[in-house]
Amino acid sequence: MTGLRKPVGTRSGVGKITPLIHPTRPVPVIVPSRWTPGELLQDQRYRELIRKHLSRIWDRLFAQFTGLHFHIAWKTAVPKGGDAYVLPSRCSACCKVSGSPLRRQCRTCCPPHLRVTLESGRGHRFTCPLGVRNYWLPVRVRSQTLGIAYLQALEHSPLQSPKATSSAATAESHFTRRGAIVLSRLNFARAARFLHEVVQHVQTASLSDLRKADLNAAARSVVALEREQTRLHEALSRYLPSPPATARISGPQSALNPAPIRLSTPCSSASSGILRSPSRCRDWPASCG
């Protein structure tokens, strides 16, 4: 991306170096698995969410603060039913590589780093034998890996690169690298941490959208279930007779609902403290018993 500010300590120069991967010939690493049509649709949905939240403004901010660009090598499906992780290729904006054939050492060097990246949760940072710093980070949504986010920068200026062998020098005579970005290990580590935070934010935002969609789908299912329950109740009431109304019992109270027992008060003679015989007590035996 042109017009971007380079970080402190960045140098540029003109030199010859062999790139990591040919831009038009990505090397897929086949991982044995099977893709169903539902999984393909789910992968496409997750990828659209990642692209939605990973807008261009993130790349602009990232390039402004670090001087680098991050990219994503998406996982693709192969015709035989498996899936392929396309190895992260060279960053044309940062490494300025063009016209490179695929080298044998890239075929043997990149797949082990890819396996380490997929097994790691915080990414994998390494420097390839060609002097290119790499940081690879898996992009996952609901434990499903969608691709590899990666950073690349030069370890040293091409003019200061160690002398190559005669065979490598012959191969490097066809390639040029202009305005390549050189970062120290500390600055590249900071850029890697920044990319890790960006990817974590994007994954969290995508997961939030998925949960919101699941809640909306559950709410619609509940409403549909209530409507179906009402419809079935109305249909059932048309075919079944209504239950007979229970007759209301009137008149004296039944044994199930007896009258409350009234407690009598003691007689006046008993309350005054005067003892009388039972024969002279008019309230006997109702109150003096």
What token pair was written down for 262?
Answer: 């009234």
Task: Please state the domain extents for the chain.
Answer: 14-216
Residues recorded for the chain: 289
Which amino acid is residue 278, in one-letter code? P
11 pLDDT band, cuts 50/70/90, is very low
- Higher-scoring residue by pLDDT: 143, 188: 188
Distance CA(11)–CA(181), nearest Å, equals 6
Q: What is the mean pLDDT of residues 162-185?
A: 54
- What is the rounded average pLDDT for all residues in the chain? 70
Question: Phi/psi at 280 (nearest 5 deg)?
Answer: -90, -10
Collect all residues with Cβ–Cβ distance below 8 Å to 50 and sequence separation of at least 6. Answer: 72, 139, 141, 146, 147, 202, 203, 206
Closest CA to 89 of 188, 179, 23: 23
Please, which residues bridge with residue 182 across strands? 154
Domain 14-216 in CATH 2.60.40? The answer is no
- Higher-scoring residue by pLDDT: 185, 29: 185
Distance CA(90)–CA(111), nearest Å, equals 15
> Tell me: the pLDDT tens digits for 212-268?
999 999 999 999 999 999 999 888 888 877 667 776 666 665 555 555 555 555 555
- Higher-scoring residue by pLDDT: 99, 277: 277
* 226: helix, strand or coil: helix
Collect all residues with Cβ–Cβ distance below 8 Å to 38 and sequence separation of at least 6. Answer: none
